[in-house]
Amino acid sequence: MKSAALSVVACLAFGTPSLGLAQDLKATQRLAGTHIGFDAGATYSNYTLTVTGPNGFHAVAASKTGAPSIDLRRIGAFDDGTYHYELTAATDLKVPVRSTLDNGRKGGPDASAGSVAVRSVSTGGVFTVKGGAITKPDPAAREDVKRQK
């Protein structure tokens, strides 16, 4: 039980500092047939593309150097409906970690100036599958989504 709690604390300690740092990832979406991919607008590393959809569909692709892509057909069975995607990546910028999480070591939490994390960026959105293929997004609908934020 103690090791499980320590694992959760470790995940929070390393994951939480980068959550609030995410900014817009400048990447152009490419949709064709059953394939979703991106053209990255800048130099990033450690990409992760996650796609979720109807009836428990879940796919993840990762790449250290270029934006990954996913072909829904290669993952397995998929249904018509709305799918959500998120693309995350790391920049070469370093930011200070300001976590005051007590790691249990003598002396309390380490908030020294030497603690840094890589700045992360992300983008996300939705696409629709109809008739077994990804449909072209409606630009007017995309503008409505942007205005609601």
Query: Can you give the pLDDT of all 149 residues of the chain as single tens digits?
Result: 444 443 433 333 334 333 333 457 788 888 999 999 998 877 888 999 999 999 999 999 999 988 899 999 998 889 999 999 999 998 877 777 766 677 677 765 555 545 666 778 898 999 999 999 999 766 665 554 444 44
Task: Name which of 53, 26, 31 is nearest 42 in CA terms.
Answer: 26
Q: Tokens representing 64?
A: 């250290």
Look at the pTM and tell me if it is higher than 0.75.
Answer: no
Domain count, the chain: 1
Tens of pLDDT, residue by residue over 82-106, are 999 999 998 877 777 766 677 677 7
Distance of alpha carbon 116 from alpha carbon 134, whole angstroms: 40
Residue range of the domain that includes 48 = 2-148
